[in-house]
Chain A
């Protein structure tokens, strides 16, 4: 059913009938066109659901595609074009959110979670030596080492 939403939204926008990159938009210079495609792939169609203007058939996306090409033809560098679009529409237009205070958590989360999980796992493994038969009890020396590692009173439940 998730497709329905996307589809539905698109339908509302598709009535104007434009499709993603039209032949009349394509720049004669293939190198510039290639750059235009690459830039468009990272810019969000503002009225769509997580679609780039390169994929979108919304009229607004077409306007943006043409704008990007105009800037490129005028001699702007890739980053200048992107800055130009961001200045107009804000960070919302970037499919790759810029790394700044607001998005620090977003970018850090995946790697922080992975790191946290492995540290947790590592400590867990260290605190639980490979099993002998039957319940394991720590020797005094092991207990001391464990306490040094995880701090005292951190007998954890669960498996």
Chain B
């Protein structure tokens, strides 16, 4: 019964979304405010219905209701409760339902938001959001229905893929989806503004919080996915440039560019056409990502959706929304009023340069991801585009951007002083260069580029700190004045500094991996293996039984040089339901570095052991979290809060301010 309610709610949500997509447009055209405001109620109802539907699926999973085909295929009664819950989105149908849930959630948030949106813009954006919801609800209902019954119901399910039975699945997909589905809002605002024909600083101010929100979550989602891959897949890699990763990375790069260009638009009422295009492209890349991941276009083996109907359906959605919005853009953009002009040496010009580099970086990933597909389609020739390609193209595009980032950060709006900006960053640059040179001298004969990478990261961190210091303590004297200036500094300035320092931290972590070491050996109890600074001694191998798996657990003593650290355990598991093995790496965090032990096959009376020394690797993810934190901090900047109008808020809005 619950399953039918869920299914029905989903169908109902489709109907409501059709209303949400059509009626506000009609209202805007007819200048009828009552009709135009239908969008808000429809968005809220639609979210409520999809949430109900999602809840129904959650209940089916938690109760292990094996009369539902989706539950049978992806759950097992012996799974721990948390994995029964996360199994909901550990499969194609459920993850698309999560996608739609987040899509309608954002619609509801816009409906509730007390941001002083012009009513026409709000109505238009909700209508566009409704249209996207219609497309994806139809996709779920007609090609990927998670509520399909299975008869006769089997006594037991087929279990969730063991690799997914991990906390990573609880965290990574929701964060990632909030990120890249969140960009649907900026898309909706952009399309609504194009239809309306009016775009100004107000638009930028209305859109910026949403962009920041989506970007913050996408940053966390990608970082979490990377860490999950690192510890779960068992060979210590954390980024592979595979198309599925690129699919989430492209919207992130475009979103990063968008955050920067909306600032220009907000402050200088300029760069409008580009910003609108970028808003459209960012969500288009999200849609492309969904297509790449969900359609099975990569290879049949690697995708859930082997059914071509799904691929074609998503392709149609993609073509409609990308093509439609770009056509609209081509038609309407020339009509937009020109923005302000600006001087070549200024914060806004620096941000334009930022956008040029980021757009190029994004295009590089785009070309690298799609080129093999297109080439094979056109000529039948098969090529691979892997990490070496991106190292040779993406990195050279990003490095100059990061090198000039501190300059842009300290340039003034309107008319900046390049020399002054360079002087302000000289100390940071000098210190970073010194550190890099010292490192080269110290690691004589080691990797050469890596110390420079560390220097670049340090430069970013130091310049962000110094820039903040300058703003706070520059002209103030006495700690009281400093404190009051620190308080007076806008949160967005703190956010910017943090985000930039975060990139620096990540780069240090990435560059430091040039010194990571690996050792492989077959160990018997009592034998030792050394890699870099760490040594493990195999203590014992013992069997253990989990709720739905059997494991062989190897326990190691761990030494850092001569000093003994906490012991570390790695294991191999066999999940009984599917008979699939997984490897649980043993990871001991030591400062910012990690010792990483991974088990191989048992052979010659011992067990194959792989030990890695991963210096400073945690910085990669700490940096990402700092970046996301910076995004979150900017989001709380008072200029977004003060934008709330004085007029009486709608009833629903009193429940919860959505910003």
Contact = CB atoms under 8 A, between A and B. Distances in A.
B356 A22 contact: no
Interface residues of A, number: 62
A113 B608 CA distance: 48
Nearest to B607: A23
Interface in A96-143: 96-97, 102-103, 105-107, 109-111, 113-114, 117-118, 121, 125, 128-131, 136
B234 A3 contact: no
B388 interface: yes
Contact of B271 (A95, A118, A159): A159
The range of chain B's interface size is: 35 or more
B176 A158 contact: no
Given A10-B163, A102-B379, A110 B364 contact: yes
A157 B394 contact: no
B311 interface: no
B581 A17 contact: yes
Nearest to A109: B367
A110 B394 contact: yes
A130 B343 contact: yes
B356 to A, nearest CB: 4
Given A50-B386, A97-B383, A110-B393, A1 B343 contact: no
Interface stretch (A68-76, A86-94, A145-153): A86-94
A131 B293 contact: no
Contacts of A20: 235, 610
Nearest to A89: B382
B181 to A, nearest CB: 12
B32 to A, nearest CB: 32
Contacts, number: 222
A58 B90 CA distance: 23
A8 B384 contact: no
A11 B161 CA distance: 8
A18 B316 CA distance: 41
A42 B391 CA distance: 12
B340 interface: yes
Given A18-B601, A97-B385, A159-B271, A49 B242 contact: yes
Contact of A158 (B244, B248, B338): B338
Nearest to A8: B161
B164 interface: yes
A23 B334 CA distance: 64
B360 to A, nearest CB: 4
Contact of B247 (A2, A44, A91): A2
Interface string B226-244: 0011001111010011111
Contact of B164 (A4, A42, A111, A121): A4
B333 interface: yes
Contacts of B382: 90-92
B381 interface: yes
B583 A3 contact: no
A158 B363 contact: no
A113 B361 CA distance: 9
10 residue pairs, one from A and one from B, having the closest CB atoms: A95-B386, A159-B339, A96-B388, A158-B273, A2-B244, A50-B242, A110-B364, A131-B341, A130-B343, A9-B302
Interface of B: 89-90, 95, 161-164, 168, 172-173, 176-177, 225, 228-229, 232-235, 237, 240-245, 247-248, 270-274, 289, 293, 298-299, 301-304, 333-334, 336, 338-344, 349, 352-353, 356-357, 359-360, 363-364, 367-368, 371, 375, 379, 381-389, 392-394, 397, 415, 520-522, 580-581, 583, 598, 600-601, 603, 608, 610
10 contacts: A1-B293, A8-B163, A9-B301, A22-B600, A92-B382, A95-B388, A109-B367, A113-B364, A114-B357, A159-B273
Interface of A: 1-12, 14-15, 17-24, 26, 42, 44, 47, 49-52, 55, 57, 90-97, 102-103, 105-107, 109-111, 113-114, 117-118, 121, 125, 128-131, 136, 157-159
